[in-house]
Structure 1
Amino acid sequence: MHPSYQALYRATVKSAATLGGALLQGMLARALARMPGEAQASTDVVERNLLADAATVLADHSAALLDSFPQALLAEFAHALAGGRGGALTFDSLPLLGEEQVRDNVDVLRVTQDVLEAVRPELGELESLLAAAQGPGTPGRHPLRPEVFVRALHRLVQQSPVAATVRRRWLRHLGAELGTELAGLYRELTATLRAHGVAAAAPAMAAAPPPSPERQTDLTVRELQRLLAGELDLAAPGNRPPFADTEFSATIPAAFEQLREMRQVDQVMQQLRQRQAAVPDPAGEGRSLLRNALLLQVRRPAQALALEVVRLMVDNLAADPRLLPAVQEAVRDLEPALMRLALADPRFFSERQHPARQLLEQATQRSLAWADEGAPGFAEFAGALREAVEALLDSRAVGPEVFQIALDTLQGAWAEAQPRGRRLREKAVRALLRAEQRNLLAERIAQQLAGRPEAAGAPAEVMSFLGGPWAQVMAQARLADRGGSDDPGGYAAAAATLLRSVQPALAMRVFPHRQALAERLRHGLASVDYLPAETQRWLSTFDVLQEHAAMETAPPALPETPAPPGDTWLAALEAHDSGFVPLPAVSSAAEHPVWPPELPGIDLQPGAWVDLLGATGWERWQLTWASPHGLLFMFTDATGTARSMTRRSLQDRLAGGSLRTVSAHTVVDGALDAVARVAWRNSV
């Protein structure tokens, strides 16, 4: 990201949130003007009454909705910045949805599709400018996408204390007006970006829909739910899968029949591999032949549906632009083994701990460590993955065991590649845990010091010191104390002495002890590796304050003293051990984080991959650890090098665009979510 564009990108997102009230106001005005007329025109008496009631209640709740919408919008912006998966439209959520929720999400998807069509030209132009401001790498992954606004509207409607029938009509009619209002907002943001000199580096690009599977499918949400619930197997009780959980669940004839079918599939697989070795098959004709051969082996509805899910999942994985070409090809080549497994184990993809799903997840997730195939370490990673795929294709085993063997082999190879990195990460985690524990205790100590009677008239510089570095000193001493002392190190007494020494009414009684106090302060700050130059600056400030307190004169103007840290503080050694990335310095209040309220939480979870803007450009990192209280986060790269940052730093970088999510959840989750979206679209 161009340095001058970071603040502009941040301001653009803030502007969208600030204008959310006006956006909803326009939607409300349009909806309230149209709903009564539509109610009168309805030939369905029941619908006429429901719609008229919904319009009346909407008018009554308009003020409350306008008050709540900015916060709902901010929550969805934060979710989108962290790469959230889009609410209930996920593969994993399907078994949990009842009929009412299915109907509700179909309404949300229908509104999203309508809004996208209404804003496509404006969205394309805006995204081309955002891509220029943000830099290459993650087009279309900004928080201003239409579905984010629809989710905010849905969140707002769902939180309203009205009947479900009213909420559904609110969403439908407000959603119908969102496209017009959002197009206007996009035009306004586009004009602002152009006025600041941002020019599109490429034609508008991100408004196009995602690539569709190679052929259409009639897959629906209800069918997926039945598969995941096992209902399709129950529909054919005489055809229990021969590879079930119990040893004697299948009859001997059924087992022989399965073996015969597997031999036929093995023959097709062998022919396919021979053909691929002799002549490349970029069009995938060989895989199509295999799919057709496997379909002939289907004996139960669950098998047919499982093969379709696997096909769609692999198609989505192989088309994912975040995966490098070598990884995409490995996924395509793995498809025959996965489809053969699906015949015997129709729901392997829905069981997170299944070895086949684990193999896919770990291989694709680890591959995100490299942004290009020429990066150091990728060739070794790709070679090990290729060997595992070859072994799976050569195997004639059908169950999960062969996938477990391949997974164990890959994990061993990966562990051997980074033994030093693992030790460094463990050292970093210890440093960060220690820092969080001390910071939490220091926060309580700072509050106690601020409440002391002597603190009422103390200079601001002294209170900044006590609430900042000295609270860290006292917390460190208490955590390290094993003797049960009330005041380990005498640091609480030193704080009381310092407070008296800088106030004219109390200073004479402690003035003779200034040198001892200075030594105590110096010793305490050294215990937390406080920088010597900063220590001397504080002591010099106290010297001036104490001199004038003793003479009962006003001190001269002192250099500006920083306020107690609102962010988590790390000692120098802790920062070194954890590769700490400090919060960027700001030159004015206008450059501080722009969110009107603070971003409502961070959705990033360990395992997420991000691009972090460094001194030489974008760098790829994985969030590998978050502290128990969410104050500190650690990232590692492909070499095992660790970087850490505070919660505030992570929030600011996400909001400002200098940290962007590549994958907030596993790539396989994303591929299965895409399967779910196909089913949702077919259900609209």
Structure 2
Amino acid sequence: MATHPLQLQMAELVLALVPDLTRNLQESIQQAIKHKNMGLQEAWARRRQRFQMEFETSLRPALAQVRQGLDPLAPRRQVAMDQLALVDEHQALRDVGIAHVVELATEANRSELFRLQNFFAGLNQNSQRPSREPNPLRPALFARALSDALSGSDLRAEGHYSLMQAAAPALAAALAPIYTALGEVLARERLTAMVSSVDLGNSPRRPLSSVPGGLDNLRQRVEAMESQRLSLGSGQGPNLLQRLYDQMLADPHLLPPVKAQLARLQIAVSRLAHHDPQLLRQQDHPTWRLINAVAAYGAAFQDAQDSRLRDFLQFLEDQTELLINSPAPNRQQFENLQRLIDGFIARQARERSGSSTAALAALERERQRGPWAALLREQLDAQLHSARISPSVREFLLGIWVDVIVQAMVLEGHEARSVQELVAVVDELVESLVPKRDPAAQEKQRHALPALVARIEHGLHSIALSDSKRSAILKGLAQQHARALRGLGESTAPEPAWIKETEVKRLLDERDSEFGSVWAHAEVNRAELPTEPLPLADARLRDEAVGQWLRHLQIGGWFHLFVNSHWLTAQLVWVSEGSQFYLFVGQDATDRHSMTQGALAQLYANGLVTYLEQEGLLERAVSTLMQDLDP
């Protein structure tokens, strides 16, 4: 599809402004870092000289995609259906830093961004799958470039996050001229009136927690007003239940088929209200929990014809029919239906994890990585006790090769044939390094070496060693094999630097810092997230709040969460035994993300993940009615 002329014009304008943006940003960061601690100043000093190049190297290709009418932040499937994208706490903290930058930049340029959002939404309105974030020039584009420019192997996740925090105000200010210029483009085209600069969605709205008394308080106020109306001879208006239901059914988040089922359920709810006075007093009444659950599940779908939604609504319709036909609906029946719905949603969610069975099993085994490595290292150490090998080979087998074997155990199971073959490499390598003086033995060994080296090289490819490190290891082994084939014993000359004990340990440390996961990260859609960071100063209270939230997660629930620099709406479909790993699946079955408990806790603590039903349909209706009653 051809690029719209205005989008092309905007992209070229931003490309022209990139040099000024980069210089201003670098100077602003320099000023901000002056007032920070020495650690941050040193980290920035190592990046300052290359910052402009790194920032533009990340940003310019993305802007080139915008010129072509593409969204560089749009999700791309990068993994196969039987693989997962594992996000650990370090990746999650990186995402927290990006989200912080986006939040500040959005607040600083809200009016301009709102107009751009409306303009690009208009361009995409005829799209079959319109994006929830149609603006391809949104702050996340620049925040990701900033994150890339500040990254480095010398900086751990916490240090990178601190740098992002320090640079966030600088980027927010540096983007102001960019968005002002883009707004002027709309003004010259006389589109300003069509894309109002007033962000109606940002009007102040009283949070639910500040509504005094919730449902029960609303009931008392409505009853008082009704009594006053009757005393004045005005007649009785609609009762509270009818008002609540009318307000809930008017909720813009409800899809038509979901609204139809809730309207049908109203028959049973109205009958229950006649003999259960607690219905309009208890906001956590099973009936309201049921209605909130139905609305929250329906809100997760954009397509009313989605087969999962249709199956769910058919199940609800069958159960609603039983309630309507019941002689006298009671609280227990609604509570039972709530459990049935939870079970149905959980079963449906587990079915969505079926294509990832092998990867999920690997995730279950992931938590055994440490114990397996320790046990295997102990066993090999005993096995190699009397082996005539150099210290460097011993370090290799007890270090890097142990990790190769454990990696295979995690991916395929500890009894897999591939694991046994990797274990067998240990004896074969030791035997291959024994000096051969007999010509026949030398010839036999010479023919066997290529296969052995190929297996070692294949094993090294399974872990995150760089090409240079892998080549150095293979070169060192080749030198020792050459000596063995010549019938020479262990060399008395100093060993190459790559095989010194301290160097091997350094390689292991570097490899550990680079090896985030055995699963590649996949990009996902971004959507708005109505959450706030936990306002707890005490670390212990904060940890307790996070732990309590994690314990109450249920399979089948839908969430908004920020993953790999994107917002997405996804369903929790699997939790590992021990709750160390979680699997989320988006609307698209290929949109799958697994994460560690630490990553999920990091997102929750920073307000970057929430249940869709955090503010339920009933609570929204109560909030609206309470505000309508205010003078």
**TM-score past 0.5 threshold:** no
TM-score by length of 2: 0.44
TM-score by length of 1: 0.42
Q: Taking CA–CA contacts closer than 8 Å with sequence separation of 6 or more, which of the two structures ends up with the larger relative contact order?
A: 2
